[in-house]
């Protein structure tokens, strides 16, 4: 899973700062933060910000100031209404042990559980859409074994590096406990490419989540990347999985069109431009 395309549907007390969540994501990419992506200000996050600021030559304050946000590609603080509920939302939001992010960055995609069949047919987009639909249906059930059946014995799992199915089972159990009601749907575009003998599928997935009591809800989008291998029966298994939250377009900055010089025009500027530079009439 541009700024957060996720909508808060929780009580005001459960609000989390979306800028903080974005900072956590950026620091995780840089192997500085290993905690949950939850929008919370914690001592671990402050320490990571201070380390980042020191590396960049900024004033080391541990505060998300404008220079720090801008250097991470977060131009301004996103609007409060775009916040997610406090706590991890995506499965990839769950933190790992120190070093997990660095391990994932250097970890190779593991081999499939069984050798792939020779001369297996190339996948089509219709086949991949059907496979993704079935997979997401399995993700919605309360029995984690339904989803677990889609994974190989060894998987490069988000930022955790290469893990076994028991690790994934524990992660799924925790996620189901947090979000009992889960609904997923695939976007219109599916991109398929080859990586050696493996197939890489990229798509956007919408998520709608709620806890058991229905008091905490969240929805939004995530960009997902699946690395797949063929099984001997020509079905697919996941040997690598990544996802990234889609942020709301505009980066939380000013809305408006860009001028020819790249400057963002305010609504007033746009009105004045139309008044003083009316569109030319086409000659018949």
Residue 215 belongs to a domain with what CATH number? 3.10.450.50
Q: Are residues 95 and 193 in the same domain?
A: yes
Contact 171, 139 (CB under 8 A): no
For the chain, the domain total comes to: 2
Q: What is the pLDDT along the chain (284 residues), one digit of tens a residue?
A: 333 334 333 333 334 577 888 899 999 988 899 889 988 889 999 999 999 999 999 999 999 998 899 899 886 554 443 347 778 899 999 886 665 555 555 567 888 877 777 778 889 999 999 999 999 999 999 999 999 999 999 999 998 889 999 999 999 999 999 999 999 999 999 999 999 889 999 999 999 999 999 999 999 999 999 999 999 999 999 999 999 988 764 433 334 444 444 444 445 455 545 544 555 555 55
How far apart CA 86 and CA 89 sit, in angstroms, is 8
Q: Are residues 284 and 145 in the same domain?
A: no
Closest CA to 37 of 45, 49, 55: 45
Dihedral (Cα; 207, 208, 209, 215), 10-degree rounding? 150
Q: Are residues 147 and 117 in the same domain?
A: yes
Q: Are residues 110 and 215 in the same domain?
A: yes
Q: Are residues 236 and 270 in the same domain?
A: no
| 160 domain-assigned | yes
| 204 domain-assigned | yes
Q: Are residues 171 and 283 in the same domain?
A: no
Closest CA to 34 of 91, 85, 95, 82: 95
Is the overall model pTM greater than 0.75, yes or no? no
| 224 domain-assigned | yes
| 189 domain-assigned | yes
| 229 domain-assigned | yes
How far apart CA 164 and CA 246 sit, in angstroms, is 28
| 159 domain-assigned | yes
Q: Cβ contacts of residue 42 below 8 Å, gap of 6+?
A: 35
Q: Are residues 143 and 276 in the same domain?
A: no
Q: Are residues 213 and 265 in the same domain?
A: no
- The CB-side HSE value for 217 (13 A sphere, CA atoms) comes to 9
Which own/partner contact pairs does 47-53 have at CB distance under 8 Å and 24+ positions apart?
49/23, 52/27
| 62 domain-assigned | no
In this structure, what DSSP letter does residue 283 have?
Answer: P
**Bridge partners (DSSP) listed for residue 218:** 8, 209
Q: Which tokens belong to 268?
A: 């007033």
Q: Are residues 108 and 238 in the same domain?
A: yes
Q: In terms of residue numbers, what domain contains 272?
A: 256-284
Supply the pLDDT for residue 277: 56
Q: Are residues 226 and 261 in the same domain?
A: no
Q: Are residues 227 and 120 in the same domain?
A: yes
Q: Are residues 91 and 169 in the same domain?
A: yes
| 278 domain-assigned | yes
How far apart CA 85 and CA 18 sit, in angstroms, is 9
Q: Give the CA radius of gyration of the chain.
A: 22
Supply the pLDDT for residue 255: 40
Supply the pLDDT for residue 253: 37
Supply the pLDDT for residue 129: 96
Supply the pLDDT for residue 13: 33
């Amino acid at each position: 899973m541009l700024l957060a395309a996720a909508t808060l549907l929780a009580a005001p007390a459960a609000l989390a700062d979306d800028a903080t969540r974005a900072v956590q994501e950026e620091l995780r990419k840089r192997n500085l933060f290993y905690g949950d992506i939850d929008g919370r200000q914690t001592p671990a996050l402050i320490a990571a910000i201070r380390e980042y600021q020191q590396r960049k030559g900024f004033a080391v304050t541990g505060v998300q100031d404008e220079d720090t946000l801008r250097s991470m590609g977060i131009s301004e603080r996103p609007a409060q209404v775009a916040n997610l509920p406090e706590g991890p939302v995506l499965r990839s939001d769950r933190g790992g042990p120190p070093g997990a992010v660095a391990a994932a960055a250097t970890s190779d995609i593991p081999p499939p559980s069984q050798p792939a069949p020779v001369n297996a047919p190339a996948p089509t987009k219709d086949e991949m859409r059907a496979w993704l639909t079935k997979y997401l249906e399995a993700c919605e059930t309360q029995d984690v074994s339904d989803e677990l059946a889609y994974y190989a014995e060894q998987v490069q799992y988000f930022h955790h590096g290469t893990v076994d199915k028991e690790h994934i089972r524990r992660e799924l159990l925790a996620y189901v406990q947090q979000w009992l009601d889960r609904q997923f749907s695939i976007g219109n575009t599916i991109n398929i490419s080859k990586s050696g003998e493996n197939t890489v599928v990229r798509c956007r997935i919408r998520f709608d989540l709620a806890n058991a009591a229905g008091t905490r809800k969240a929805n939004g989008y995530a960009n997902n990347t699946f690395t797949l291998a063929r099984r001997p029966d020509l079905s697919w298994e996941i040997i690598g999985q990544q996802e990234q939250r889609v942020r709301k377009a505009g980066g939380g900055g000013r809305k408006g069109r860009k001028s020819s010089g790249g400057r963002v025009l305010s609504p007033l500027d746009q009105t004045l431009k139309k008044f003083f530079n009316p569109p030319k009439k086409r000659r018949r």
